[in-house]
Structure 1
Amino acid sequence: MYVRRSAAVLAAVTVIGVATPVAQAATPSPSASLPAGLYGTTDPTYDGVWRQSLALIAQNRMKLEPAAKAVDWLAGQQCADGAFTAFRADPSKACDAKAMVDTNSTAVAVQGLAAVGERDTEVKKAVTWLKSVQNKDGGWGYTPGGASDANSTSVVIGALHAFGDDPAEIRKDGKSPYDALLKLALPCAKGGAFAYQPDKKGKLSANADATAAAVVGALGMGISPRGGEKKDIACTDAADLTPEQASANGASYLADAVAKDGHLKSALAGAEDQPDYGNTADVVVALAVQGGASAAQKPLEWLEKNAAAWAKQSGPAAYAQLILAADAAGADPRDFGGTDLVKQLNAQGPAPRTTAAESAKASEQKADDDNGVGVWWIVGVCLVAGIGVGFLLSGRTKGRRP
């Protein structure tokens, strides 16, 4: 959901309002140069941790157990102080002062590792680092000490939620993350959206990317929230907005933004008429959280018809976004416009381990096969005995499913 939107040029696929250049994202790296366990075949310099985390989160959401080496790769990207960079080509080399650690990579890694479990030490260290770089207004910027923005604050809220903390209780100078988000909320007269950040003059401008992030973040949820109950979405002004009201107002803005075409358009200069698939997927999640599955149907249906080629070109993060959007809005990720998104995601890296449910199913099938062999063996014995033929029977085991 919420913060995989346009990534900063330095970091990930969809995080802070400036999309990673298409040429960069689409340039494949030689497979021999890619780390074992990493999902995707493109250069991971700007989005390695981001796309890996999303892949693990989506697999977990689909009740799959990610491959051990995929989890190990992500955990191995962590610096000694708990922070993450977008990608470390040589994890054996300690992070130094030049390491470009950031809140978005760290927060999404927390959610990825928390989803798969068994990584409590790494998760705790990362959350401790995130708390140490909280701004005085209660929020977070992309880089430590940078001005707070809606996307970064929202993805960190998701990390706190995944760790089990109440974001409202995580404060700096008395300010919580929700205080930072509310400062970026626009009134209904301006659509009820969220701004990414104030501009140099302190002015707030509506930003659909930031709004999709903040709608979910303001509710204290993580990167893969469940859809909510069906309800009308409307913008309501109040003297003192609550985070819940600001979230509903943001959803109202998003609903209007996709009402005509069913999708958002790219905010990149020179690409006004280009659909923004990733942020549209985030809109689906935001609308489903606030208004239930029915509120997200128009952009969901647009994605079902149009997003397959984008996901194929973009790789694991795109497949993960679509999986989370489909699931939040009540669609089947294994049959999304005729595409099995889960299968496609799994093909981007090491195959997930067998789940408990799959193991149980395999055991049941094996028992059925065994029972079938036993029944027909007994029938054969009876038939032979009935005609008085004293053959020595040799049982043949049928082919069994592993």
Structure 2
Amino acid sequence: MSTVRRSAAALAVSAVLGVAIAAAAAPAAMAATSPTPSAVLPNGLYGAADPTYDGVWRQSLALLAQDTVGVRPASKAVDWLAGQQCDNGGFPSYRADATAPCTAKLPLDSNATAAATQALAAIGGQDTAVKKSVTWLKSTQNPDGGWGYNPGGASDANSTSIVIGALAAAGEKPGEVTAKGGKSPYDALLTFAKPCGGPDGGAFVFQPKQPGIIADSTAAAVIGAHGEDLVVKAGPKDAKGTACEPATTIEGAAHNGAAYLATALAKNGHLLTAPMPGATDPAAKPDVGNTADAIIALTAQGLGEQTKKPLEWLKGNSAAWAKESGPAAYAQLVLTAHATGTDPKNFGGTNLVERLNALGPQPEKAKSTEDDSPSGTWWIVGAFFVASIGAGILVSGRRKSQR
């Protein structure tokens, strides 16, 4: 889920719950909101914007990105995230007072829970928290096999996909996590896939009755279809290329979704987003966040050749967006760099790791090589010879559970 979708989803949920939305996290294309003058940001939290709608989300992505590049997050940052969990295992978008018990009035969030699960599983030492969150996620699975943004809400492609990633990160086999009627998360994802031909053929919609930002839900679903968490590895080459073909399986639907993204990216070398309501400029704007997500999805699908042009565009056009959008955006770019084998310390001239680390508590020392698997050395050879890095930052590898 891109930072755009996270903000849009939070705003939609707020409207349904009757919560004031003036202080909601802004979409990635806009400046992030600042806390109210009386608000005091929690010690250990990443970012300076109001955390009401994205505190757990941005913290989870920040810690996961740090772990991915071999940076050991600060203990107080990890403690803050773990402390957001409610006794039943679920996470809200943000819990202002972690010392007070969670109440029925505090909405729990499948996306925040899934992201936190992935971060805590990657960092390690949080087995109890991870198990509790997995139990909660399983308890909130819808009859169609998917998940909505909040428990009881209709399933959507983004929520279902990120929960698949959480299950995989926790050592579960997502395809075997079924609802009472026997439906799996992959059954749910198939219901969001559009047939070939016609507008947006091959794409995944957010929900059948709420198309949403098609590129965002498609990228999420393609990654979810591969049983991947947010730290994606390159898949074997997709010999089918970018042709959309009739599909009745999740594998075929994932190919078609990736083909849709590849075609969309090829038009301009990046994705576009419609102007915000009320904007004076009617022209579509470059969509940095969803371009990054699409690149990751294509990498997972094995269409690496189709990522080359948009990746170069992203390197040259993401710095200002990330600076304006905060830690989740920097984390998103770090994860894009990881998926594509790009050095995150020189991403179009920007040191993403340094910029991310500066937005929160000082990380602990870099992980030792004993903590890393061979698959996690995607840029260490080059980094080893850069004197300014000192001991080097190693990327932690992680075996992903297969569905």
Q: TM-score interval w.r.t. the shorter chain?
A: 0.7 to 0.9
Q: Which amino acid aligns with 2:187?
A: D
What corresponds to 2:325 in structure 1?
A: 314
Once residues 144 and 337 of structure 2 are traced to their aligned partners in structure 1, the CA distance between those partners, rounded to angstroms, is 34
Inter-CA distance 358–345: structure 2 relative to 1 (3 Å threshold): farther
* Counterpart selection for 2:32 from 26, 29, 40: 26
1:197 aligns with 207
Taking the TM superposition and a 5 Å limit, the aligned residue runs for 1:73-112 are 73-112=80-119
Please report the TM-score for the alignment, with normalisation by the length of structure 2: 0.82
- Structure 1 counterpart of 2:320, one-letter code: A
- Is the contact made by 2:30 and 2:325 (CA closer than 8 Å) also made in structure 1? no
2:220 aligns with 213
Contact 1:266 1:272 in 2 (8 A): no
Rounded Cα–Cα distance in structure 2 between residues aligned with 1:307 and 1:28: 21
Distance 1:351 1:206 in 2: 35
1:101-250 to 2 correspondences below 5 Å: 101-172=108-179, 173-190=181-198, 191-199=201-209, 207-232=214-239, 233-238=241-246, 241-250=248-257
Q: Give the deviation of 1:291 after TM superposition.
A: 2.4
Q: Distance in 1 between matches of 2:67 and 2:299?
A: 20
Q: Which AA in structure 2 matches 1:244?
A: E
| Separation of aligned partners in 1, 2:364 and 2:242 | 43
Q: Is the 8 A contact 2:226 2:300 kept in 1?
A: no
Task: Specify every segment of 5 or more residues in structure 1 that has no aligned partner in the other structure, as ranges.
Answer: 14-18, 361-400
Q: Is the 8 A contact 1:9 1:46 kept in 2?
A: no
Q: 1:24 to 1:125 in 2, by over 3 A?
A: farther
CA-to-aligned-CA distance 1:13-66 (integer Å, 9 cap, x gap): 9xxxxx953498522236981111100111111110000000011111101111
Pair 1:50 & 2:57 matched: yes
* Alignment check: 8 A CA contact 1:12 1:50 kept: no
* Identity, % of aligned positions: 56
Deviation at 1:293, TM superposition (A): 3.2
Q: How does 1:338-349 map to 2 (within 5 A)?
A: 338-349=349-360
Tell me if the contact between 2:30 and 2:324 (Cα under 8 Å) persists in the aligned partners.
no
Contact kept? 1:193, 1:206, Cα under 8 Å: no
Q: Secondary structure at the match of 2:10?
A: coil
Residue 357 of structure 1: CA displacement?
3.3
May I ask how many residue pairs the two structures share in their alignment? Answer: 351
3-state SS, counterpart of residue 189 of structure 1: coil
Give the equivalent residue in structure 2 for 1:352: 363
- Root-mean-square deviation (CA, aligned residues, Å) is 2.5
- Give, in whole Å, the separation in 2 of the partners of 1:127 and 1:24: 33
Deviation digits for residues 285-325 of structure 1, max 9, x if unmatched? 00111124332112111111111001011110000000111
Q: Contact conserved, 2:244 with 2:259, CA < 8 A, in 1?
A: no
| Alpha-carbon distance between aligned partners in 2 of 1:12 and 1:70, rounded to the nearest angstrom | 26
**Bigger Rg over Cα:** 1
- C-alpha separation between the residues in 2 aligned to 1:12 and 1:60? 29
Q: How far did 1:141 drift?
A: 0.6
Q: Deviations over 1:182-214 (max 9, x none)?
A: 0111112142100110118xxx68811100000
Q: CA deviation at 1:262?
A: 1.7
- The answer as to whether partners of 1:3 and 1:154 remain within 8 angstroms in 2 is no
Change (3 A) 1:291 1:75: same
Cα contact 1:297–1:329 (8 A) shared by 2: no
Map 1:247-258 onto structure 2 (within 5 A).
247-258=254-265
- Name the CA shift for 1:60/1:134 in 2 (closer, same or farther; >3 Å): same
Report what 1:371 is aligned to. none
- Contiguous gaps of at least 5 residues in structure 2: 13-23, 372-390, 392-403
1:303 and 2:314 are equivalent in the alignment? yes
- Structure 2 distance, partners of 1:335, 1:209, is 26
- The alignment's TM-score, normalised by the length of structure 1, stands at 0.82
Matches for 1:270-309 after TM superposition, within 5 Å: 270=279, 273-309=284-320
